[in-house]
Amino acid sequence: MGREAFAVLLGDDLTSDPPCTSVLLDVHRRLHGTVVALQEVSAQEIGRYGMAVGEEVEPGILRLTDLVEKPSPSEVRSNLATIGRYVLAPSIFESLRSTKPDKRGEVQLTDAIRALIAAEDVYGVRYRGIRHDVGNVAGWLRATMAIASLRPELRDIVGGKRVSGVEDTNVPHRRVGGRAAVRSHPGAARGTRPRSRRP
């Protein structure tokens, strides 16, 4: 930190193949500035995330023009959501200090990054690896079983079992249903992403 960029990893997302932070660092080394991880989500889900709007400067990389934290339906202009991985420039600290609290009295990182956009280049990267959303009980359970299935000593335990209330547990880890294990891919915009499932 100090005068150097640094990574922020929020604990309700796990990423792999490749790790999301390594992807962001590669972009930061080339383009510099703040870099934010993005994934496409459904119109029903975007209100749960920060929403990103931008112009593509390279395949999969956008120069951001706006960020909105948990947009209302009338504010939705994009299906690109921030997913809890950031490489932040040191200028974020001054932006945080000048960012006003929201209606709940909290200073949002999304709002501070939004303020940076007016002063410097901020990039968004469409993450195309595997993301496990562990911010809820069902997602945490699916992620645990998916990761356990990769370990030979645990594979038999989870591979042949069906946990009550959880669907699609006996499948390869890249296909575990719902938002708990979503591989972003070019077909996502055409509606071929796995649908969210209720536990």
198 token code pair? 């209720």
Judge whether 21 and 9 are in contact, CB under 8 Å.
Answer: yes
* pLDDT for the residue numbered 60: 95
DSSP assignment, residue 100?
P
* pLDDT for the residue numbered 92: 96
DSSP assignment, residue 101?
P
pLDDT band at 192 (very low <50, low <70, confident <90, very high): very low
* Per-residue pLDDT tens over the stretch 164-179: 334 443 333 333 333 3
Q: What is the fold, at CATH topology level, of the domain defined by 6-126? A: Spore Coat Polysaccharide Biosynthesis Protein SpsA; Chain A (3.90.550)
CA nearest neighbour of 34 among 53, 7, 12, 14? 7
16 token code pair? 């792999």
pLDDT band at 180 (very low <50, low <70, confident <90, very high): very low
Query: In residues, how long is the chain?
Result: 199
* pLDDT for the residue numbered 27: 97
**Which residue type, as a one-letter code, is found at position 151?**
R
Q: How far apart are CA 99 and CA 82, in angstroms?
A: 19
pLDDT band at 185 (very low <50, low <70, confident <90, very high): very low
Q: How far apart are CA 24 and CA 15, in angstroms?
A: 12
Residue span(s) of the chain under CATH 3.90.550.10 come to 6-126
What is the pLDDT averaged over residues 144-153?
86
Judge whether 38 and 125 are in contact, CB under 8 Å.
Answer: yes
